[in-house]
Amino acid sequence: MCGIFAYVGNDNQSVLKAVRGLKDLEYRGYDSWGVAVKTPQGFFIRKETGKISNIPETDFEKHEGTMSIGHTRWATHGGVSAYNAHPHFNRDKSLVVVHNGIIENHDALREEIAAVFGNDVFRSETDTEVIPLLIDICMERGLSFENAFTEVCKKLHGRFAFVALHKDEPYMLAARDGSPLVMGLAEGEYFIASDTPAFLDYTNEVYFFDNGEYAKISKDAVTFFNLLSGNHVEKKKEKILWEKESASKGGHPHFMLKEILDQRELIENTVRLGGPAVSKAAQTLEKADNIFFTAMGTAAHMGMVGEYLFSRIAKKSVQAVYAAEFDKVLPFINKQSLVCGISQSGETADLLEAFKTTKKKGGKIMSVINVRGSSAERESFLSVPVNAGPERAVASTKAATAQFTILTLLAYALIGKRMQGEKKLTNASHAIKKWLTQELLIHISHIVETIKHNEDLYVIGKSVNYPIALEAALKIKEVSYIHAEGFAAGELKHGTLALIEKGTPCVVLVSNDEYKQDVLNAAQELKARGATIIGISPEAHPVFDHTIVTPDLENETPMALMISSQILAYYLATLRGLDPDKPRNLAKSVTVK
């Protein structure tokens, strides 16, 4: 979690760039924020709780300096408070640090610091604070800022990306070991950030930091080094193809709505751009003895969708497993195994941990990712990009549909029918484009008006629509804070039915398939106990109290059911007065275990 932004260049109002950059990174954490700019008088530091998006730029204009760092926080160690917000500093505030990740041995390091400086030196409850204080100790012992920085990096256990700045040095230092960090390169300017949208206004040329590397950045030059050996590292410039525009709200009140509507063009795009990578991946999947899809949250639900698709379309057995529960399958990982990670951000800590253990056992790793250059992609010998474009709302919507698309294509490619798959998906894409209109949004918002005060909601589906039911429930609880549960229609009678009362809203997902009657029967049982049935289906059925009609897309109908449930979740949030883009307690990318 957390967003880092840093700037070195010729702009004397660099702090404004930091503030703007942080506003673009707020999706990574938004409980507090802080900036520091190096001025001729030393550092100007401001740290606050709340969202930086609410702060006017005019507040910072008078603090001039060409080097700034900033941070937007998702609290892990220590509560949400201004003193726990970054930047953190040393005793005399001559050096400042912003950090993303987790320092697992911070307790031991605190003791080490206390033995030198005493206990009063700590000003926060964070793990991060040990970094500037340890650098301080090393510098007091005579090391240069740079040598102190590398010494401290070697002491840290866990995952980190951090940037440090000293008031007397003309350069900035940035290191990565486990958490994402990327450098943007413009004329006379360097940007360092956790993610590229923070500087896409200025440049799309980047260097990605690899684990175990640090960079020394001054106004005129940047050099990368290996943290352990100190050897110089040659970096390759890469180009980011995302447009800044695609990372903005495009006139919509929320990113979530904008990203839901992006799905009008999405599937066709994903199909068009994904072909060659899909074919390559299919060849590998074909040869693998045992295949695992692993992921978390929404991506894990898409992994479960993939499990069904591979079974139905390709007759290939695959096991979907939460990355955090990967140990369950570890005994079965060997040289013939293929572990396919699915991740929008490519930075989910549990996924990266699953990759690590797979590698130790000799298994192969591939990934289905959205963010190019992400850790998941860099750890994989093969990756398939879903090309959903930047996803900024915490709730994953278009990335999920794009993952669904790629998994469908992979299933078809496995039986040598990629073109047939492409055709079916392109047709589905056109139908979704026609259907996903303003009228549909209004219709769903009217349904939501009737259920928005309920505090419990259930979603049922069967076959592929079972993981879609799980996903619908996740989306609803994540943004509306309504207790929502998804389950397999057949499970209803085995416990959950006891919870149904008069007026309990139940969302019933029905495709026009061989399971239709089973699901309608389950809906009937819910209705008999007083439930209000919201049917999402290609056609209305008498058991539904409200119907969201989707196009009939055969095997791809679940995509339209999922999009409908995303819209339902969006209106449940907004009509309850909540901001769906920044749900409480959550952040977009979960980079801690």
Residues contributing to the site for ligand AGP (CB under 6 A): 296-299, 343-345, 348, 351, 394-396, 478, 589-590
Pairing of strands 32-39, 67-73: antiparallel
Please identify, using beta-carbon distances, which residue of 227 and 479 lies nearer to ligand AGP.
479
DSSP alpha helix (H) spans, 100-144? 106-117, 130-140
**DSSP line for 184-241:** EEETTEEEEESSGGGTTTT--EEEEPPTTEEEEE-SS-EEEEETTT--EE----EE--
Q: Which of 398, 477, 582, 588 is catalytic?
A: 588
Residue 270 tokens read as: 């994903």
Strand partners, 14: none
> Shortest approach of ligand AGP to residue 563 CB, angstroms?
14
Which residue number, 299 or 507, has a Cβ lying nearer to ligand AGP? 299
* Closest CB to ligand AGP among residues 46, 73: 73
Active site residue 23: no
Cα 187 to the chain's mean position, in Å? 30
Q: How far is CA 379 from CA 81, 180, 255, 351, 410, in A?
A: 35, 13, 29, 11, 20
Smallest gap, in angstroms, from Cβ of residue 38 to ligand AGP? 34
Q: How far is the CB of 44 from ligand AGP (least distance, A)?
A: 34
Rounded to a whole number of angstroms, the minimum distance from the CB of residue 589 to ligand AGP is 5
CB count within 10 Å of CB 92 equals 9
For residue 478, the minimal CB distance to ligand AGP (Å) is 5
Nearest to 221 by CA among 194, 183, 193: 183
For ligand AGP, the nearest residue by Cβ is 297
Q: Exposed e or buried b for every residue in 523-540, given b needs 16+ CB within 10 A?
A: bebbbeeebbbbbbbbee
Rg of the Cα trace of the chain? Answer: 25
Torsion angle defined by CA atoms of residues 169, 207, 352 and 161, in that order, rounded to the nearest 10 degrees: 10
Dig out the tokens for 517 from the structure: 């009657």
CB environment 112-131: b (16+ within 10 A), e (fewer): bbeeebeeeebebebbbbbb
* Residue (94 or 344) nearer to ligand AGP, CB: 344
Nearer to ligand AGP, 177 or 377 (CB): 377
Report CA torsion sign: 188, 189, 190, 195: negative
Indicate the residue among 138 and 256 with the shorter CB distance to ligand AGP.
Answer: 256
> CA dist 25 to 233, 257, 388, 497, Å?
28, 18, 18, 43
Which residue's CB is nearer to ligand AGP, number 304 or number 314? 304
Provide the minimum distance between the beta carbon of 370 and ligand AGP in the complex, in angstroms, as a whole number: 8
- Active-site annotation holds for 516: no
Phi, psi of 373 (to 5 degrees): 80, 5
Closest to ligand AGP by CB, 18 vs 395, is 395
Contacts 24+ apart (CB under 8 A), 223-229: 225/150, 227/150, 227/153, 227/154, 227/175, 227/177, 228/154
d(CA 339, CA 321): 10
Q: How far is the CB of 586 from ligand AGP (least distance, A)?
A: 6
Give CA–CA dist 452/569, Å, rounded: 10
Pick the catalytic residue from 2, 138, 340, 506. Answer: 2
Give the chain's end-to-end CA distance (angstroms, integer).
11
Beta bridge partners of 223: 216
Considering beta carbons, is residue 133 or 296 the nearer one to ligand AGP?
296
User: Least Å distance between CB 580 and ligand AGP?
Assistant: 10
| Rounded distance between C-alpha atoms, residue 583 and residue 479, angstroms | 6
Q: How far is the CB of 346 from ligand AGP (least distance, A)?
A: 7
Active site residues: 2, 588
